[in-house]
């Protein structure tokens, strides 16, 4: 009888081990199936590269700050401009190549961004951060005033470190610089006060 109990105990232990192992394998299999399914709700890297729209949360962006998101493999800058930054823009028109974005309008900016601030909401600049000369990425030079490689009356903007092109805080290029055009404004729209959709401006 004791031998039978030992055997039953062994069988029970083997069953328990088998149940634990098969449950673990089942859980791993479920996770392997569910993870790609959940991930499928987000645009793939290939879809992003092909131009899938990208959402940006701008709720934490403070006046005077910039954030960068990637769309189509390019950096898209979102700058929250201060009232002082906005007030300086009209004073620069005579120093700019294309202050009203009338040159190559369909390439440079959607119709809703062909205005003095080149934006839907004046507070926010949304632009592709690639110089229109040879494709370098300009540096932030938001502080006004004299600085190396910048004029003494600098009002804030961007400086391309490759060949010295300068852009104001609306992404408009200054005269007598290598870059021929303003920074490009991508299609975009606001989903809410704190959410921006880059790459799509058509409401479903």
Backbone angles phi, psi at 86, to 5 degrees: -65, -40
What is the C-alpha to C-alpha distance for residues 166 and 157, in angstroms, rounded to an integer?
Answer: 7
What's the alpha-carbon Rg for the chain, to the nearest Å?
A: 28
What is the C-alpha to C-alpha distance for residues 197 and 108, in angstroms, rounded to an integer?
Answer: 18
Say if residues 91 and 172 touch (Cβ distance below 8 Å). no
Q: State yes or no: is 133 an active-site residue.
A: no
Q: Of 163, 175, 180, 191, which one is the catalytic site residue?
A: 163
* Residue 81 CB coordination number (10 Å): 25
What is the C-alpha to C-alpha distance for residues 149 and 167, in angstroms, rounded to an integer?
Answer: 13
Q: Is 79 left (phi over 0), alpha (psi -120 to 50) or beta?
A: beta
Nearest alpha carbon to residue 117 among 146, 143, 92: 92
* Residue 150 CB coordination number (10 Å): 18
Which tokens is 98 given? 């294309």
The residues annotated with a catalytic role in the active site are: 163
């Amino acid at each position: 009888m004791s031998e039978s109990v030992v055997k039953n105990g062994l069988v029970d232990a083997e069953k328990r081990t088998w149940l634990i192992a098969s449950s673990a394998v089942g859980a791993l299999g479920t996770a392997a199936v569910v993870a790609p399914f959940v991930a499928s709700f987000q645009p793939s890297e290939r879809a992003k590269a092909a131009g899938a729209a990208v959402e940006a949360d701008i709720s934490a962006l403070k006046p005077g700050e910039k954030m960068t998101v990637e769309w189509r493999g390019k950096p898209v800058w979102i700058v929250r401009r201060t009232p002082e930054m906005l007030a300086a823009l009209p004073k620069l028109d005579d120093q700019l190549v294309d202050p009203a974005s009338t040159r190559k309008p369909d390439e440079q900016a959607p119709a809703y961004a062909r205005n003095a601030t080149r934006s839907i909401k004046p507070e926010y600049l949304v632009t592709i951060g690639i110089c229109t000369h040879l494709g370098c990425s300009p540096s932030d030079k938001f502080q006004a005033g004299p600085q190396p490689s910048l004029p003494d009356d600098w009002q804030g903007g961007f400086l391309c470190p490759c060949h010295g092109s300068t852009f104001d805080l609306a992404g408009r290029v200054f005269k007598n610089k290598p870059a021929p055009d303003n920074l490009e404004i991508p299609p975009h729209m606001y989903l809410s006060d704190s959410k921006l959709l880059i790459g799509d401006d058509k409401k479903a």
